[in-house]
Amino acid sequence: MKRFEPLLYGAVMAVLLVALIAEGRRSAALDGKLALNAKELYGLLSNPQVKLQLVDLRAYDDDNYLDAHVPGSVPMPDCSIENAPPAARDRIYPYVQTVLIAGDGQEAAVERCRGQFMNARVLAGGMTAWSDALLPEDVGDYSPPKNSAGGGCL
């Protein structure tokens, strides 16, 4: 029996590993279906230990992104990297925990975009909800964050 203990132990560990991976994927899928409200997102952004990427799916014009956007958000209009400003194209990472921001939170671009990111959630109500909650906003062109002693945007 002593000869089979390492094999049995290895088999049990393999089964537990597969179960853990399956549970992690299921949990991530459920999290992705839950939208964040503006106050929840603001709370997450205020925690330096939480790493989030904010992707704004609205048009890059004076009535949308340029007029007002969540600070630190990267423009990617209509979920197309080709529509993003050149400075933003290399700042969008598919493997980072992402929050998608639309005009009202219900745009078709949100659904198209979910598949491009491993872990994406949606800002409920979009930029409209953020503005209605009177949370801080930036205006103007996108400019990538400056790398300094504190790091970059993530």
What separation in angstroms does the CA of 15 have from each of 8, 11, 25, 121?
11, 6, 16, 30
How many C-beta atoms lie closer than 10 Å to residue 98's C-beta?
Answer: 24
Please check whether residue 85 is in contact with residue 142, taking contact to mean a CB–CB distance below 8 angstroms.
yes
Establish how many alpha carbons lie within 13 A of residue 125's alpha carbon, considering only the half-sphere containing its beta carbon.
12
Higher local confidence (pLDDT), 28 or 36: 36
Query: Residue 104 corresponds to which tokens in the numbers above?
Result: 């009202």
Share of the chain above pLDDT 90, in %: 47
- The stretch 63-90 carries a mean pLDDT of 92
Higher local confidence (pLDDT), 99 or 2: 99
Amino acid (one-letter) located at 45: L
Query: Tell me, what's the pLDDT at 99?
Result: 94
**Residue pLDDT, tens place only, 108-128:** 778 888 888 888 999 999 999
Query: Tell me, what's the pLDDT at 1?
Result: 65
Q: Where are the beta strands (DSSP E) in the chain?
A: 53-56, 74-75, 98-101, 120-122
**Residue pLDDT, tens place only, 35-76:** 899 999 999 998 888 889 999 999 999 889 999 999 999 999
Residue 42 host element (H or E) = helix 38-45
Query: Tell me, what's the pLDDT at 29?
Result: 62
Q: Is the pLDDT of residue 2 over 90?
A: no
Q: Is the pLDDT of residue 152 over 50?
A: no
Q: How far apart are CA 151 and CA 143, in angstroms?
A: 15
Predicted TM-score of the model (pTM): 0.75
Query: Tell me, what's the pLDDT at 108?
Result: 75
